[in-house]
Amino acid sequence: MREGEPKNEEENITPTEVATQEDGLPSYLKMYEISGQDPITEHSFNRYKKDKNQDAAIEDIVRNPRNPVATEQVKGQQVEQVYTGSKDPEYLFFNKVKFAPIEEQSSIVKSALENDDINIQKMGANNIRIVPEKDRLELQNIVLKKVKKGLDNPDVEIQKISAGMIGGTPEKEISSLIKLGLNISQVEVQKEAIMAIGAAPEEEKTSLLEFALKNPNLEIQKFALSKCYYVGYERISLLSIGLNSPHPEVQKAAVDAIRSVVPEEERAELIKLGLNSSNPEVQKMAVGFMGSGMSKKDRRELLDLIKEKGLTGEFIRPPTLYAPEFKIGNNEKEIDDVSFSRNEFRKTGSGITLIGGELKDKTVIRHIHPKAFIAWQKLYEDHNIWKEAGFDYVPVEQIQSYKLNKENSVDVFTGVLDLALGQWLGKTDKIFERELLDQRDKIIQVVNLLKIRHGHMHDNNFCLRFFRDKDGKVDLNRVPRVYLIDFDQAISPAK
């Protein structure tokens, strides 16, 4: 199923090429074998040949377009949305203050602060920054009294809303109010207090986050780590506190914050801490944050440490499509290796479904337009042209099996490869660069020779596949193979 049956076997395959292996299968199938993946069997080969019975129907859809392909509409294309305004009260109040005559802004905010509804008071407090500077201190002092009174109220909801108003108090009072909020035992109140750190004086933000990280509640420690972007270079020491925590979930929160909080050139020490963690999950997460912005020295040292820790498999793992958790809209679903499950991923021109269970990290399903599939299939099945170009394998994303679905698109089961060429060159000191670029360029030459328009042949659509031994161990000392992937925009010449 990993291979394509030639369109006319008697004409296109020479006697040596149709020679059989010991298992009775054609010898050219060796060009479709991928290191570390299941070998092609008689069953998988026959299944692929059976799939080809659909080719005429697929070609007919291209010649005679019917209803628009559903996957293009639902999974692939960006949906344009016309902004019609918001009915959110806070947004409406913000606009009311912002666009009011300057001489009226302060009175609008003051009126809100004097309202009996504490939610309206909060809206007023959060918009003091808009009013003329000469009027702010008076309004901030009004908020100060309300915040102190609210934090002392036994009603948790009042405490929470009051903590959310801390940023509207005089700057010199903010730090003490944050600590007051953090000393309240309710988690939601503490989180509101942490969010107020963004409004605190710059020189006090780091100590406030350190104070939050000493909180005995692990949920609060994790939340504080996510707000380390409030500070500058001090974020390194703060995340180091999290990575040195004895609690794995706090360590994971610190590692998770690296991507969004720390520029690549500052990550090396934090990644080392993660790699040296005793928790395997933390180690695996840390591997994924290496980047081209790091110095060559840091990248070399980290790669050596990754090898030492036996994490080469994680290092070459594709960082996006096969992440342990996938977010779709507002939904989050975990793809695990226990139960068979599917999770859709939207991308331009096609859709991808991730699969759990035994197929996790081995197979995904691409949903693709028939015209694009035909171009992909043409490149995949013509093993002779790849052999003539000097390849001993077919350097095209695998087609394990395929099916024309009810929406007139093609569901293609394809194997998971390793990280992209561009990612590899960026994460390492350009190891094997010349050999890999030579492979890439030869692939491009063949694609152009066949007059196929791929649509986006950039380095992140050339994926690598490293060789594995019989135990699945990755060999980073051997030049990997390069494969062209992602044919969702491909077009082949008309017949």
Decide: 302 and 311 in contact? Cβ < 8 Å: no
Q: Quick one: pLDDT band at residue 357, thresholds 50, 70, 90?
A: low
* pLDDT for res 323: 42
Q: Is the pTM of this model over 0.75?
A: no
Decide: 447 and 440 in contact? Cβ < 8 Å: no
Decide: 228 and 209 in contact? Cβ < 8 Å: yes
Q: Quick one: pLDDT band at residue 352, thresholds 50, 70, 90?
A: confident
Q: What is the pLDDT of residues 116-140, one digit of tens each?
A: 999 999 999 999 999 999 999 999 9
The fraction of the chain above a pLDDT of 90, given in percent, is 71
Q: Quick one: pLDDT band at residue 363, thresholds 50, 70, 90?
A: confident
Over range 476-490, report the average pLDDT.
93
* Spatial separation of the C-alpha atoms in residues 316 and 417, rounded to whole Å: 9
Structure-model confidence comparison of residues 267 and 346, the more confident one: 267
* pLDDT for res 290: 86
Over range 387-412, report the average pLDDT.
95
Q: Quick one: pLDDT band at residue 88, thresholds 50, 70, 90?
A: confident
* pLDDT for res 21: 65
Q: What is the pLDDT of residues 279-324, one digit of tens each?
A: 999 999 999 888 888 998 999 999 999 999 999 999 998 865 434 3
Exposed, middle or buried: residue 334 (CB in 10 Å: 0-12, 13-18, 19+)? exposed
Q: Quick one: pLDDT band at residue 373, thresholds 50, 70, 90?
A: very high
Q: Would you kindly state where each structural domain of the chain is located, as residue ranges? A: 9-78+326-484, 88-200, 231-316
Backbone angles phi, psi at 373, to 5 degrees: -65, -40
* pLDDT for res 456: 86
Query: Does residue 269 have a pLDDT over 80?
Result: yes
CA angle in degrees (0–180, nearest 5) for 382-384-385: 75
Decide: 23 and 42 in contact? Cβ < 8 Å: yes
Q: What is the pLDDT of residues 224-246, one digit of tens each?
A: 999 999 999 999 999 999 999 99
Query: Does residue 1 have a pLDDT over 60?
Result: no
Structure-model confidence comparison of residues 358 and 116, the more confident one: 116
Query: Does residue 335 have a pLDDT over 80?
Result: no
* pLDDT for res 430: 85
Q: Quick one: pLDDT band at residue 50, thresholds 50, 70, 90?
A: very high
Query: Does residue 184 have a pLDDT over 90?
Result: yes
Q: What is the pLDDT of residues 3-35, one digit of tens each?
A: 343 444 433 433 334 556 666 789 999 999 999
SS3 for the chain is CCCCCCCCHHHHCCCCCCCECCCCCEHHHHHHCCCCCCCCCHHHHHHHHHHHHHHHHHHHHHHCCCCCCHHHHHHHCCCCCCCCCCCCHHHHHHHHHHCCCHHHHHHHHHHHHCCCCHHHHHHHHCCHHHCCHHHHHHHHHHHHHHHHHHHCCCCHHHHHHHHCCHHHCCHHHHHHHHHHHHCCCCHHHHHHHHHHHHHCCHHHHHHHHHHHHCCCCHHHHHHHHHCHHHCCCCHHHHHHHHHCCCCHHHHHHHHHHHHHHCCHHHCHHHHHHHHCCCCHHHHHHHHCCCCCCCCHHHHHHHHHHHHHCCCHHHHCCCCCCCCCEEEECCEEEECCCCCCCEEEEEECCEEEEEECHHHCCCEEEEEECHHHHHHHHHHHHCHHHHHHCCCCCCCECCCCEEEECCCCCEEEEEECCCCEHHHHHHHCCCCCHHHHHHHHHHHHHHHHHCCCECCCCCHHHEEEECCECCCCCECCCCCCEEEECCCCCCECCCC
Over range 375-399, report the average pLDDT.
96
* pLDDT for res 443: 97
- Joined together, the tokens standing for residue 375 give 């171009």
Structure-model confidence comparison of residues 23 and 414, the more confident one: 414
Rg (Cα) of the chain, in Å, rounded? Answer: 29
Strand order in the sheet with 401-404: 342-347, 350-355, 363-368, 410-415, 401-404
* pLDDT for res 320: 54
* pLDDT for res 40: 92
Q: Quick one: pLDDT band at residue 144, thresholds 50, 70, 90?
A: very high
Decide: 414 and 364 in contact? Cβ < 8 Å: yes
* pLDDT for res 226: 96
* pLDDT for res 362: 81
* pLDDT for res 5: 39
Mean predicted lDDT score pLDDT of the chain = 85
